[in-house]
Amino acid sequence: MNKLFRMVILGAPGSGKGTISSRIVRDFGLKHLSSGDLLRAQVINKTELGIAAQKYMKAGKLVPDDVMVNLIASELAGLKTSPWLLDGFPRTRPQAEAVHQHEKLDLVLSLEVPDEVIIDRIKGRWTHLPSGRIYHTEFNPPQVSGVDDVTGEQLVQREDDKPESVKQRLDQYAVNTGPLKGFYRDLGILQEFHGTESNEIWPRVHNYLKSHLTALSGPF
């Protein structure tokens, strides 16, 4: 029997969600729907929804649930015949409950990377503001400490990358995601993957998906 696989990925900022999502899409052929990308497209096209959403996005706030639910529901309605991976949505329990009315999910995959690991990783980032070039003291250091390789100009640590700001974002994520995970745990579809790096977590995600997608839709 051929059944379409529908899943959500959850993960804190800096948890490697982007990396894992792109590998899932690459290896399993799901259609990738990112709520942030969908919103940014609406903003660029200056749609009514985009104009309304923009002020929340600029302020670093969540766009209201009813706006998000309408946007995602209309996208999903156009994807009745393909398997998909939803990324960035739902972000709150009411969003999860609303989407559950229309679509039954097969899996909610949650990346569980300890806060200290994320804070440590992000705090090593240094940026050359005029070009946007990013370095990392450990993983990708500049040739000369504190200086951009190309221009020789000073590197800075962005406000958002400072440990206090990262911690604040992680706390906010935990507050929003707790009830969401509870909802999916009760439905029996939450699967948590613990680890510190994408390369460590990915093989386990891959194996899990391989066995579950194969069981649902035949061998890949």
Q: Looking at the annotation, which residues are catalytic?
A: 17, 91, 125, 158, 169
Minimum distance from residue 198 beta carbon to ligand AMP (Å): 17
Residue matched to tokens 């209201």: 64
Structural tokens at position 14: 């800096």
Is residue 178 within the footprint of ligand AMP (CB under 6 A)?
Answer: no
Q: Which is nearer to ligand AMP, 42 or 198 (CB)?
A: 42
**Furthest-apart CA atoms within the chain: distance in Å:** 60
Q: Which residue, chain included where needed, has tokens 């890949």?
A: 220
What's the rounded Cα separation, in Å, for the pair 153 and 144? 11
Provide the phi-psi class of 182: left if phi over 0, else alpha when psi is between -120 and 50, else beta: alpha
Q: What angle do CA 117, 122, 123 make, to 5 degrees?
A: 100
Q: Is 63 in the site for ligand AMP (CB under 6 A)?
A: yes
Q: Does 184 bind ligand AMP (CB under 6 A)?
A: no
The residue among 170, 169, 157, 207 whose CA lies nearest residue 24 is 207
Which of 35, 42, 177, 198 is the binder for ligand AMP (CB under 6 A)? 35
Residue 91 known to bind ligand: yes
State yes or no: cis peptide before 90, omega within 30 of 0.
Answer: yes
3-class DSSP assignment, residue 112: strand
Considering only 29, 36, 178, 218, the residue that binds ligand AMP (CB under 6 A) is: 36
108 binds ligand AMP (CB under 6 A): no
Q: Is 6 annotated as a binding residue?
A: no
Q: To the nearest whole angstrom, how small is the minimum distance from the Cβ of residue 131 to ligand AMP?
A: 22
* Binding positions for ligand AMP, 68-97, rule CB under 6 A: 68, 88-91, 95
Q: Does 122 bind ligand AMP (CB under 6 A)?
A: no
Contacts of 75 (CB under 8 A, 6+ apart): 33, 38
Q: Is 181 marked as binding a ligand?
A: no
Stretch that binds ligand AMP, among 60-68, 96-104, 123-131, 139-147 (CB under 6 A): 60-68
Q: Residue 4 in contact with residue 81, Cβ under 8 Å?
A: yes
| 216: contact with ligand AMP by CB under 6 A | no
Q: Which residue is nearest to ligand AMP (CB)?
A: 36
The annotation places the binding site for GTP at 14-19, 125, 134-135, 198
Name the site residues for ligand AMP (rule: CB under 6 A). Answer: 35-36, 39, 56-57, 60-63, 68, 88-91, 95
